[in-house]
Amino acid sequence: MKRSNFIYIVIVCSLVMNTGCKKFLDQVPEDRITIEEVFRKKRPSEEYLANVYSYVNDESNIWGNWPWVGNADEADVTWSKYPIYDLNIGNMAAGSVLFDKWGHYFNGIRSATYFMQHIDNNVEIRALDGQQRIDQYKAEARCLRAYFYFLLMRQYGPVAILGDTLIDPGAPADAIQFPRSPFDVCVDYVVSELDKAAAGLPLEPTANGQVSDLEYGRMTKGIALAIKSRLLLYAASPLYNGNTEMATFKNPDGTQMISQTYSAEKWKRAADAAKAVMDLNLYSLYKDPGGDVTKSLQGIFFNAWNSEQIFVRKANNLYEWDTHCMPRQAGGWCGIGPTQEQVDAYFMKDGLPIDQSPLYSETGFTNVNGVQVYNMYMNREPRFYTDVTYQNCTFQGGNMSSPATISFFVSGPNGKNGHPTDYTRTGYLIRKNVGTQTNSGSGGNGRRQERPIILFRLAEIYLNYVEALNEYDPGHPDILKYLNMIRERAGIPQYGQGPDALPVPATPEEMREKIRAERRIELAYEGHRWFDIRRWKIAPLVMGQMHGMDVNRDGNDFYKRVVASTHLFRPANYWFPISQYEMDRSRLFVQNPGW
């Protein structure tokens, strides 16, 4: 699909955003209008809907606002001044919840509900655009509301389902006593809402009945189905599907919060949901027209509105991501680095993991254009080179006028001795989705490389599909087909077909391992890993001490695995706590286990 000239809806209703209040603006003086008038006029109603869209998350700030990358085992954020550091060392409690989004998303839910209940009164929209436009706007708000519920559920687990009930912000405590619903009940509700929304949403954003470039960013059928795909994949996973370790997690009335009975049908439901997105035939994996693998992998993020992008947010702060990930040589802040665990996860160019490939070596160096490169970094797959800035690689970006070798030795230009805080603790920096034209850091001139932030893309849907299908119908030919499509685009050998084909995994367990490994690499640093290791219940195995190269050394002493940081995990960390403030207000709430 062509995606250009996108305009993200402007946020103009901050009062409504905060309260969903009885009055849009005070009626005095006379040029201000009542909330009733808002929903009789076209423009104010559309501005109200724009406010609902404003709750869609921009997850580019992983150090202060969103912990899904820096609190997993894939990357480390170097600065101790940000809340991600407190989370990693376990400095959180119900009385001081970090990254707390509970109230934020419930405000979005309330605003969406208020809009849905009042937009039918808009006589001006009906006269100008017809009932169809009102119905579409309601479907957009319904989809947004369902998405906000999903975002609550992935962070907090079971939530309170309010349905179409509107609670006045000033309501007394007795009026807001809603218990949390079991997770499966929450899932069924959100799925039903997404299905209703999808039925009323266009395949592509439209204006006056025509596909319009100016409308990209609005809810579509594909977005609704993609949200459903991710939700049902989570619901089918071990954390939620027959998890007997959560047997004591109950409401005060004894209602079980997490299903104690395993159901294979949940996997089928997840597979069907992913396939529904694919069957729209609207999306395809992005590939460079010239067949260049590197340009294909980079273009996913930098070729705006391309065919792989399903749900994006234009308004974002990705330029800050760029600056935080770039080396000091480029004017960056040199502080977001892949862990050694993530570096080790990338395949070799023969498509095999490092512990199975004869190409892998941690002995010696190779001369690359006059620079000695450690053999650990040689013969790796293309995604490694597009994703990771490593010792003695070549980089150009920011305020660099020409390519240069990047060094993380302690006394080097990006090393620990050169700045008290701006240095990578792992000896690597993230390169994936880093806009090298951005230069807003130290010594920069404020340039920004603009592009949308991707919230859902087709590669994830393919990986959702093959994971669910392998659990429900192992051996189904689609598993290899779509897994291999990911690998083919990545420029590595496929399983059972093509040049240098690798053996097909012989058992569902082996295939599960391959799918998880592919997901870890393909979706790296995109905010998936935190939820994946929890829903698979492997977080206790992979969290803890995170490693990197020895950034306290120069020369060959640098190339040694050492502990770079600690990303604490304890049983309570499967979900965030509900704040004590919310627990005090809603006496029927049960707190998440361990808090």
Predicted local distance difference test score (pLDDT) of residue 177? 79
In the numeric block, which tokens belong to residue 23?
């009055």
Residues in the chain: 595
Predicted local distance difference test score (pLDDT) of residue 211? 63
Identity of residue 238 = P
Confidence of residue 31 (pLDDT cuts 50, 70, 90): very low
Interval 349-367: pLDDT, tens: 999 999 999 999 999 999 9
Predicted local distance difference test score (pLDDT) of residue 20? 38
**Helix-strand-coil split of the chain, %, nearest 5:** 40, 10, 50
Q: What is the mean pLDDT of residues 395-400?
A: 96
**Residue the block writes with tokens 């995170």:** 546
Q: Please say if the pLDDT value at position 342 is more than 70.
A: yes
* 361 SS3 class: coil
* 188 SS3 class: helix
Interval 157-200: pLDDT, tens: 999 999 998 877 666 667 677 899 999 999 999 999 999 999 99
Interval 211-242: pLDDT, tens: 666 667 799 999 999 999 999 999 999 999 99
Predicted local distance difference test score (pLDDT) of residue 214? 62
Per-residue exposure over 11-32, b if at least 16 CB sit within 10 Å of its own CB, e if not? ebbeebbebbbeebbeeeeeee
**Residue the block writes with tokens 């991600």:** 84
- Contact between 60 and 318 under an 8 Å Cβ cutoff? The reply is yes
Burial of 186 (0-12, 13-18, 19+ CB in 10 A): buried
Q: What is the mean pLDDT of residues 465-487?
A: 98
Cis amide leading into 29 (omega within 30): yes
Q: Which among 193, 80, 116, 58 is positioned nearest to 423, based on CA atoms? A: 80
Phi first, then psi, for residue 505 (nearest 5°) are -50, 135
What is the SS3 string spanning 437-484? CCECCCCCCCECCCCCEEEEEHHHHHHHHHHHHHHHCCCCHHHHHHHH
The pTM (predicted TM-score) of the whole model is: 0.93
Q: Please say if the pLDDT value at position 440 is more than 80.
A: yes
CA distance 112 to 108: 6
Q: Which of 21-35, 249-263, 334-348, 467-481 shows the lowest mean pLDDT across its residues? A: 21-35
Half-sphere exposure of 519 (CA within 13 A, CB side): 23
Predicted local distance difference test score (pLDDT) of residue 32? 54
In the numeric block, which tokens belong to residue 543?
């969290």
Confidence of residue 24 (pLDDT cuts 50, 70, 90): very low
* DSSP letter assigned to residue 326: S
Predicted local distance difference test score (pLDDT) of residue 168? 73
CA dihedral 448, 454, 459, 465 (to 10 degrees): 170
Q: Which residues is 548 bridged to in the sheet?
A: 562
CA distance 577 to 100: 9
Distance from CA of residue 204 to its chain's centroid?
22
Q: Which among 452, 456, 555, 556 is positioned nearest to 222, based on CA atoms? A: 456
Distance from CA of residue 46 to its chain's centroid?
27
Confidence of residue 10 (pLDDT cuts 50, 70, 90): very low
Q: Look over the chain and give the mean of its residue pLDDT values, rounded to a whole number.
A: 92
CA distance 516 to 483: 11
Distance from CA of residue 162 to its chain's centroid?
25
Q: What is the mean pLDDT of residues 514-543?
A: 98
Q: pLDDT: is 9 or 300 the higher one?
A: 300
CA distance 472 to 455: 27
In the numeric block, which tokens belong to residue 358?
């004869």
Name the strand (E) or helix (H) holding 547. Answer: strand 544-548
Instruction: Kindly report the number of other CB atoms within 10 A of residue 359's CB atom.
Output: 15
CA distance 165 to 146: 14
Half-sphere exposure of 27 (CA within 13 A, CB side): 6
* DSSP letter assigned to residue 179: P
